[in-house]
Structure 1
């Protein structure tokens, strides 16, 4: 923190912005999201750097810039504390059945300027008059919103806290109301920042300055009459000061007068001065300079008073929080978004979940097909097979996004949702290389897989797509098999494992918590119809040739590929077993000597054991019991 402050001080020429006290942050309070997961899910920006088709764009209904920034922070750093999550949810749930209050809050918030940005500029000495006016307007909006919410009893805690922060800084609001003019200029040099009546000395200097202008107007009329030149003007020149300006023809008649001093002649005009004009010019310049200096001094005092008000950062945060609450209430008000239940167990059930970004991009008359996701403890690993373009990647991402929204305290695009807190989320969906760093697509895939296997734990959620596709079939199948075993039996995390290695579905017999699912497909009149539904079971085909046709591959190539596929499938059916690695693994293991049957008591004890529920001490006690039962 000290190094950061030193950098700011040096880079800002000694000036420091308004800084809050450092606060300790525990990484366990925030859902762990590694860079690959953030890039995969397009939370705030897409891989192309765009902001349109992102999770933030799909859920934001905020009306203030500060509210949008806080919502982005919530999405980027979801929570792992169910109590804090419930506090956030309570704010927008309270507004769900109160459309009148929502509309009043939105109308008031639309007038709220960005208080935090204005404070930042003022604290660095870069503020302009309109930044101070922004603080005044924000204070007015805060008082107005506080009045709206104070009309109602039984506010949720997050709203009560916001109201307490909004109901402060009344003295500062009164000061700014008296000190600042109604419509100040954009720049300090333009003057007119401080309101009339606030400072007597400034009013005196302004009267002298503005009164002199009236004197100039009267003097112009006097000279026009005296010299008989109706279009005579008294103008202020940057180098010459106040001068009499007449057309060139009239100027020739005035050059002989002793009371006039010729200052400048051009082809179209002649400029003269008098001792009276010179004296008046000095008086006006002095009055204007004094007024400007006094106004700057007063504005500096006002800015200092603003920066001394400790309540402003909390007030800005409260306005942003209320903006997010109304945004969530508007989003969930249509009835198709739910308030998820987030607890401390390991449950995981989503009913009729949808992908919010894809749904937002659909045409108005199109409908997104919802899907359930059940990763309860007794079937916490879902093996998802099915054809390309059937929606596997969409299903993976929508599940991960639902967790992020739920633990950020926001509505979820689903009929209902109940999950135990996820401590780390890993999403490996979509292939990409990193050639600039010398990493191929497969190397990137394995690097990300390594990160998952080294960091995931029992409370993590892992969604992975096509592990092992960047190498040979047997290598890829072996890697996918080993990774799936590790997720299921070693890490014991909740996971969705999408793959085209359909043989892995056979592992359900040896992995009790593995649940095979597939994407539903129908054939009709020789065409393949993707139904985008996740159903129990496993696929036996990938329909890659059909997808090639959809992509525009020339028809002769598609037909040839179809014939080759049929030939290869027949050849494999004659020569190879369904899962060659199983057969190879069995062939490599020598025949083991037969073991005697276990005593009935030992068999009963083993049958009743639940390894996932055993503590280390209880497991040790069970081993002693088994050893005792197995003694001859």
Structure 2
């Protein structure tokens, strides 16, 4: 019962009475509803939609009204969950800039001669900005593409079809990466619509009066002008869209979200190169626009979230210096998909240099941007407030709101907040006017110069001036109503003109009557009896048959004429039109603002881009002297990655350069043919995994366009980073530690190209020593000889190292250490000093007993283990000798 939930979750108090009853004032709805939503509840807002007088009128028209009819009508006006918040006037204000995606997943599994295949249709919806992301793709049995999608666009709520035959891969995704995300199973067809029904509902709803959005049209048969036939390769995407539209409709927000017309097509970057099917693909250029960072990579490198689910110590927390909420959202997408185009990367590098050179202008720009509200979400909010079709049918328009004035003030506040934000935004260009010719970055020049080109900031001067003079802002904020200035609203101006003309006609007619009666005539009366012509009794003798006596008082007579009745009717009609115009004027002001949405959105895109460039510059500037601008080699160069004295970017920010040990990474060379694969050994806790993560993060930072914490950095573009780091199982998915290892390794071997970067940490430790080493050997051989991609492969299998000691495609390296009080008989006497420095050659031992000692394992246990280890080694050597 909701009353009990309110008491238990919100700290409310039960009211007196036999039945459970608790409550709070209407004005506090936003605070309490948001608290319940954050706890995972769906909240329905019910409003009274008729007054007692309206109820009585309704009952009079009924033949036999029952006691249930004699209750004022109430309706559900909104159902809100974590994924369907629009932050309207009834809701709380969101301070968190992170998006909250609603995800619907449709699937189709087929079996063929080559085995089973699975296809997915996905629809991501961000209701706070009215954005749809729609896609359909084939996937492997591990659902790699789906995992990547939910990593780039993490949902807060998932919709799926209530089908008992969910594929095992999809179940693993739902119970793995999405295990903590609320899920809702929808009934097939009735709630989870198929593609034809989705298109039918969209057409009947008439949401796209100006034509279907291009991204949505991609999934519809172009030969069908009625837009009712899906393309064969778009059925699943439209099915996922249908589930979202039904859910938004059930939440009573589908009109305001769909009519934003903001649709984008989701296309997975990877082409899933299958070496077993396609053979060797070496020598082919990078065909991707963006680097692929799948869900495993984002998790292992802690790009967006750390192991605890927070952001502390992540690359996002390290590099994100954005000032605006919408800039932060764009920067997060940049991190998930760094560019794979040298021209774009170098233009960002030039932007960083420009912003660091003109630091005073950059500082003033940041100060301006810090004062901006979330303009992207405000545009969506104002769109909903100005939607004419919603005002005609939505139950909110019938609601009897006792805090209506408060809500109107909030609506006006949203508009004024947006206008003030854009007024501040236009001040950016003048800050850069003097230095504009000196800028070297095309992207930066577009952001800080006003013009008509798409990449330039739009000229908002005339538009802002129009809304500045459209109505009295202070009066509107104070009264919660808008009185437009002349020329702002045609309907209101026309209504005012009609009222003035009708009133003028009445006054002219009154003058005629004064002349006719030869005295001063006046209008008297109210309501239905307005505009009675009153004259002194002494002048009443001049009345004609056209004058109808309607009343009298001492010394005066009152008359009506057909002419005055008609003129009064004209005035009443004009006043009714005026009243209707005034009642709807606020919505039309919002609608007027929304008509210019393309212009506002262009401005938001420019500010978001500028904010991200400023963030890259701020991060680059924070590196002080221990940084360089990465040099990208031409596309036809041989793959290489060379970093001199590099630092882990996240650790550098937290610990400082004085605490950390810089390291070199050298994989490949554009001129000679050195090894592309480094086989890395070293003591436990010696820094192998950290070095590998460092290499991956430095590549991401480099391709983002920022400076990197290193003395020098030279590389060719990386199309994808693969990671196999750490050891963990997936209990909820029924996957053991070793299965996770080989599954991730399988993806590497099937999809890596010569342009990829592979980071493999201690492959094979999840199974027996012999099986693990054999697998590691085969994988190293495949990476070094067939795929030929840049690889860091760490291992404790020293026999594996010996086997590749003379291999021309493999370079041996280790994390150096010093051994104090070395003792061949008792490892507990030794002290290992980690140098955290990568050096050439293999490490003689892994010094695992030192890790055991540091962990507090009793010394007698360590000594027994050491004796057993030495005994096993002697046995192996004897077998080899024989």
Report the TM-score, using the length of structure 1 for normalisation: 0.72
Instruction: State how far apart, in whole Å, the 2-side matches of 1:338 and 1:544 are.
Output: 37
Offset of residue 104 of structure 1: 0.9
1:512 match: 808
Correspondence for 1:342 among 612, 632, 651: 632
2:757 match: 461
How big is each residue's C-alpha offset from its partner over 1:391-431, in whole Å with a ceiling of 9 and x where there is no partner? Answer: 00001111111111222223322222111111121011111
How big is each residue's C-alpha offset from its partner over 1:203-257, in whole Å with a ceiling of 9 and x where there is no partner? Answer: x99xxxxxxxxxxxxxxxxxxxxxxxxxxxxxxxxxxxxxxxxxxxxxxxxxxxx
427-436 vs 563-572, which deviates more?
563-572
Taking a change above 3 Å as real, the CA distance of residues 172 and 48 of structure 1, as seen in their structure-2 partners, is: same
2:857 match: 553
1:590 match: none
Taking a change above 3 Å as real, the CA distance of residues 502 and 25 of structure 1, as seen in their structure-2 partners, is: same
Asked if 1:173 corresponds to 2:433, the answer is no
1:139 match: 422
Correspondence for 1:543 among 829, 847, 851: 847
- Helix, strand or coil at the partner of 1:530: strand
Taking a change above 3 Å as real, the CA distance of residues 372 and 337 of structure 1, as seen in their structure-2 partners, is: same
Correspondence for 1:56 among 310, 316, 340: 316
Matches within 5 A, 1:160-559: 160-162=445-447, 163=449, 164=451, 165-179=456-470, 182=473, 191-192=480-481, 294=582, 296-333=584-621, 334-343=624-633, 344=635, 345=637, 346-362=639-655, 367-377=659-669, 378-525=674-821, 526-559=830-863
Preserved contact between residue 379 and residue 597 of structure 2 (Cα < 8 Å): no
Preserved contact between residue 44 and residue 51 of structure 1 (Cα < 8 Å): yes
Instruction: State how far apart, in whole Å, the 2-side matches of 1:194 and 1:158 are.
Output: 42
How big is each residue's C-alpha offset from its partner over 1:486-505, in whole Å with a ceiling of 9 and x where there is no partner? Answer: 00001111111111112222
Offset of residue 55 of structure 1: 0.7
- Helix, strand or coil at the partner of 1:487: helix
Taking a change above 3 Å as real, the CA distance of residues 180 and 356 of structure 1, as seen in their structure-2 partners, is: farther
Instruction: State how far apart, in whole Å, the 1-side matches of 2:694 and 2:475 are.
Output: 49
How big is each residue's C-alpha offset from its partner over 1:422-464, in whole Å with a ceiling of 9 and x where there is no partner? Answer: 1121011111111222110001100111110011111111110
Unpaired segments of 5 or more residues in structure 2? Answer: 1-215, 218-237, 270-287, 387-409, 497-574, 822-829
Preserved contact between residue 805 and residue 812 of structure 2 (Cα < 8 Å): no
How big is each residue's C-alpha offset from its partner over 1:69-105, in whole Å with a ceiling of 9 and x where there is no partner? Answer: 1111100011111111112222112112222122111
Offset of residue 382 of structure 1: 0.5
Instruction: State how far apart, in whole Å, the 2-side matches of 1:183 and 1:535 are.
Output: 70
311-320 vs 297-306, which deviates more?
297-306
Taking a change above 3 Å as real, the CA distance of residues 199 and 99 of structure 1, as seen in their structure-2 partners, is: closer
Matches within 5 A, 1:11-90: 11=248, 12-15=253-256, 16-20=258-262, 22=264, 27=269, 28-90=288-350
318-327 vs 22-31, which deviates more?
22-31
Instruction: State how far apart, in whole Å, the 1-side matches of 2:473 and 2:816 are.
Output: 65
1:130 match: 413
Higher relative contact order (CA 8 A, sep 6+): 1
1:157 match: 442
Offset of residue 64 of structure 1: 1.4
Offset of residue 128 of structure 1: 2.8
Instruction: State how far apart, in whole Å, the 2-side matches of 1:342 and 1:98 are.
Output: 25
Preserved contact between residue 89 and residue 339 of structure 1 (Cα < 8 Å): yes
Offset of residue 514 of structure 1: 0.7
Taking a change above 3 Å as real, the CA distance of residues 172 and 293 of structure 1, as seen in their structure-2 partners, is: same
495-504 vs 335-344, which deviates more?
335-344
Instruction: State how far apart, in whole Å, the 1-side matches of 2:469 and 2:732 are.
Output: 60
Preserved contact between residue 428 and residue 448 of structure 1 (Cα < 8 Å): yes
Preserved contact between residue 169 and residue 309 of structure 1 (Cα < 8 Å): no
Offset of residue 193 of structure 1: 5.6
Offset of residue 510 of structure 1: 4.8
402-411 vs 109-118, which deviates more?
402-411
- Helix, strand or coil at the partner of 2:428: helix
How big is each residue's C-alpha offset from its partner over 1:265-321, in whole Å with a ceiling of 9 and x where there is no partner? Answer: xxxxxxxxxxxxxxxxxxxxxx9xx99972751343244333434222221111111
Unpaired segments of 5 or more residues in structure 1? Answer: 206-286, 578-582, 584-632
* Number of positions where the alignment pairs a residue of Structure 1 with one of Structure 2: 492
Offset of residue 196 of structure 1: 8.3
Offset of residue 182 of structure 1: 5.0
Taking a change above 3 Å as real, the CA distance of residues 180 and 41 of structure 1, as seen in their structure-2 partners, is: farther
The structure number with the bigger radius of gyration is 1
Instruction: State how far apart, in whole Å, the 1-side matches of 2:327 and 2:627 are.
Output: 20
- Helix, strand or coil at the partner of 1:310: helix
Instruction: State how far apart, in whole Å, the 1-side matches of 2:777 and 2:816 are.
Output: 23
Offset of residue 558 of structure 1: 2.8
Which structure's residues are more often helix, by fraction?
Answer: 1
Instruction: State how far apart, in whole Å, the 1-side matches of 2:855 and 2:661 are.
Output: 22
Offset of residue 381 of structure 1: 0.6
Offset of residue 195 of structure 1: 8.0
Taking a change above 3 Å as real, the CA distance of residues 564 and 299 of structure 1, as seen in their structure-2 partners, is: same
Preserved contact between residue 193 and residue 295 of structure 1 (Cα < 8 Å): no
Preserved contact between residue 392 and residue 498 of structure 1 (Cα < 8 Å): yes
Preserved contact between residue 640 and residue 790 of structure 2 (Cα < 8 Å): no
Offset of residue 384 of structure 1: 0.3
- Helix, strand or coil at the partner of 2:693: helix
Instruction: State how far apart, in whole Å, the 2-side matches of 1:184 and 1:446 are.
Output: 68
Preserved contact between residue 519 and residue 535 of structure 1 (Cα < 8 Å): yes
- Helix, strand or coil at the partner of 1:505: helix
